[in-house]
Structure formats: C-alpha cells, structure tokens
Amino acid sequence: MPGPGLKALFQGAWWMFLMKGVIAILFGLLALLGPGLAMASLIMAFGVYALVDGVSTTWAAIRGRKLDGHWWLLALEGLLGIVLGWMALSSPATVSLAFLMLFGIWAIAGGLLRIVLALRLRKEIEGEWFLIGGGVLSVLFGGFLLTRPIAGMISIMWMIGLFALVVGISLVALALRARSFAKRVQAAVGA
C-alpha cells in the first residue's frame, strides 16, 4: 500500500510525469519515423556523457594522486571516456556501426554457446529445443546485423521507438490520473 508521501508526489508532480511521457512519445515517434536521426541523437548524447564523465573522472584522479598510489587507474578510465566521447561526437556513424558489429558478434557467440549447452544437457533436461531455438534465433539475428548493419540499426531503433511510445503513453495516462486525483482531493478539502 503506497504511503502518504507517494500520494503527495503524484498530486504535486503529475505534470512531471506528463512531461516525461510526452518526451518519450516524441522520441518514440522520432525513432519510428527517422531511425537514423534518432540513432545519431543517442550516439551524440552518449558522446557528451562519456566526454563529461571522462573529464570529471580524470580531474578527480589527478586531484587525488597524492592520496592514492593507484590514481592512474582512475585517470586511465577517465581518458578512455574522453576518447570514446570524442569519437562518438566526431564520428557518430562509425561508433553506431561499431556498436552494431559488436552486438552482432555477441548475439552469434551467445547463440552458439546456447546451442552447445543445450546439446550437452539434452540427456539431463527436457525441452532443450527451447534453448536450441533461442540459440538459432540469436545466431540468425547476429548474422543479420553483421551482413545488413543499416537494416539492423533501423530495426533496433524501431524496437526502441515502440518501447518509448508504450512507456510515454503509460506515463501520460498516469499523469492524467494523478491530476484527476489531485483535483478530487482539492475539491474535497475545499468542501
């Protein structure tokens, strides 16, 4: 049962849920209608985050170098963030392609390992064909990403877009219900 603090949050901040929902819906539409632009936006956002995180981590490592003999590990992490952030901002197409290639390789490797596991465990488990089927689908999906990276990118952005739409619609519905609830509470208090 939610406490009074949670009710107060919904009553006073319904508009934040509405705003988040509208932004999610807009991003979902962008991902569905312009997947290339949406992917570029995500890569740019990652680039900014990685760059800011890298600079702040490097700065913290340098400032704390007299306190810890392993400060260089933190500095190395920060420098890696700076490099990745710079790469994402200067060449988002290359970064997205590299991500899709790594994702494709991971899907194939994971699928093959699931197939091998299912074959090794077939005498010990029932329904191993579920594991084999999932492995085969993973291998096929990974192969699709590696052989058709642009189509794979569009497919992934469509999935993200659909997810964002569903989340956005649910947040807008929650906000409207919270607003309605807040109005009923105010009317009851005023009466």
Backbone angles phi, psi at 39, to 5 degrees: -65, -45
Residue type, 42: L
On the question of pLDDT at 127 being above 80, the answer is no
In the predicted model, what is the mean pLDDT of the chain? 85
Task: Please say whether the beta carbons of 171 and 21 come within 8 A.
Answer: yes
* Structure token pair of residue 46: 């990652």
Give a yes or no: residue 136 inside a domain. Answer: yes
User: In the prediction, which pLDDT does 184 show?
Assistant: 75
On the question of pLDDT at 1 being above 50, the answer is no
Max Cα distance, the chain (Å): 71
Give a yes or no: residue 27 inside a domain. Answer: yes
Q: What is the pLDDT of residues 5-55, one digit of tens each?
A: 555 555 667 788 889 899 989 988 988 998 888 888 888 988 999 999 999
Give a yes or no: residue 68 inside a domain. Answer: no
User: In the prediction, which pLDDT does 14 show?
Assistant: 76
Q: What is the pLDDT of residues 166-175, one digit of tens each?
A: 999 998 998 8
For residues 159 and 11, what is the distance between their CA atoms, to the nearest angstrom?
32
On the question of pLDDT at 177 being above 50, the answer is yes
On the question of pLDDT at 68 being above 80, the answer is no
Give a yes or no: residue 30 inside a domain. Answer: yes
User: In the prediction, which pLDDT does 99 show?
Assistant: 83
Task: Please say whether the beta carbons of 92 and 43 come within 8 A.
Answer: yes
Give a yes or no: residue 72 inside a domain. Answer: no
Residue type, 61: A
Angle at 80 between CA 74 and CA 84, to 5 degrees: 150
> With the C-alpha atoms ordered 55, 57, 61, 63, is the resulting torsion angle positive or negative?
positive
Across residues 131-151, what is the average pLDDT? Answer: 90
On the question of pLDDT at 185 being above 80, the answer is no
Which residues span the domain enclosing 135?
A: 4-34+92-190
Q: Where are the alpha helices (DSSP H) in the chain?
A: 4-12, 14-33, 35-63, 71-90, 92-121, 128-147, 149-190
CB atoms within 10 A of CB 145: 24
Give a yes or no: residue 41 inside a domain. Answer: no
Across residues 128-156, what is the average pLDDT? Answer: 89
Give a yes or no: residue 120 inside a domain. Answer: yes
Domain count, the chain: 1
Report pTM. Answer: 0.61
Of 184 and 83, which is predicted with more confidence?
83
Give a yes or no: residue 12 inside a domain. Answer: yes
